[in-house]
Amino acid sequence: MIFSCFWKRAALVLALFAPLSLKAQAHFDGYKAYEYARQFAAIGPRWPTGPGHVKAEAFIRAHFQREHAQVEEDTFTASTPIGAVAMRNFIVRIPGKKPGTIVLGTHYETNYPLRNINFVGANDGAATTGLLMAIGDQLNAQVAKSPGKKLDGYSVWLVFFDGEEAIQCLQCWSDSDSTYGSRHLAAKWSHDGTLRHIKAFMLADMIGDKDLNIQRDLNSNGPLISLVAQAAKKFGYQRYFFQRDAAIEDDHLAFVARNVPSIDIIDLDYGPGNSYHHTAQDTMDKISALSLMISGDVFMETIRLINQK
């Protein structure tokens, strides 16, 4: 069994690398991110107030407890069209030697309006939850090897936001009915002074898509877009990044509004004519370990570039 798993994984790695014609170099473990995403999507729908949401919280909590990570559970009550809803952000802190913080974010819940169609959000929430978990594993491994038990650069915080989706209906996205977790946390961090120490906020959303095509978000910070493009170029990933422009509303906007350098790394073209987005077709067969490897490589390299500035 052990040897069988080894060779299956080795074959997958070769399959991932072959079409990219890359020089030999270390790559992010997209297989691990995919496996975390698969387990997370298997929970089923994770809409706020539902039983799957409780299981999703337990999954995130248990993962980082096993990693002995510093985890804060940021609980709050959101005022929504269905009344007061208890929500919870998770903040995982990985300490660094330099003063300042790089924040990586994703949302983990699924849509309340889609609660009756078995919408598991494999790409829309699960893929990037798995991505951040695997990034956390890699960074915590670096910390474990460091004499000072800290990253060489800035601290990195992983934030799993609750309540990104609109509650009332799919077409009802508005400033007041969406991004509940990020709006709450940005306001909280503005009040307590945390925002002053954030060097960059990088949001991941829907970037497990097999047909990866990440838009250049016109609401994102220009210098950060340039760093991400530089990171993508290092690996020869230019064709997956910034071939089209779009002004995107997402969890980064609450940080943009408070002058935090922020970027939304997102692929909003999911399926033919975006036909998988917010449908029961958003399942694990539509995402790939390759896309998560590409995304992870670029996130990790962008962190390195930010640390050099």
Q: What is the pTM of this model?
A: 0.92
Q: How much is the pLDDT for 22? A: 44
Q: How much is the pLDDT for 309? A: 84
Separation between Cα atoms, residue 118 and residue 113, nearest integer Å:
11
Nearest to 294 by CA among 18, 29, 11: 29
Note down pLDDT in tens along the chain; length 309 residues. 333 343 345 445 444 544 444 445 689 999 999 999 999 999 999 999 999 999 999 999 999 999 888 899 999 999 999 999 999 999 999 999 999 999 999 999 999 999 999 999 999 999 999 999 999 999 999 999 988 899 999 999 999 999 999 999 988 889 999 999 999 999 999 999 999 999 999 999 999 999 999 999 999 999 999 999 999 999 999 999 999 999 999 999 999 999 999 999 999 999 999 999 999 999 999 999 999 999 999 999 999 999 998
**Domains detected in the chain:** 28-308 (3.40.630.10)
88's CB contacts (< 8 A; 6+ apart) are 57, 73, 74, 75, 76, 162
Q: How much is the pLDDT for 124? A: 98
Nearest to 52 by CA among 40, 64, 61: 40
**DSSP of 27-64:** ---HHHHHHHHHHHHTT----TTSHHHHHHHHHHHHHH
Q: How much is the pLDDT for 185? A: 98
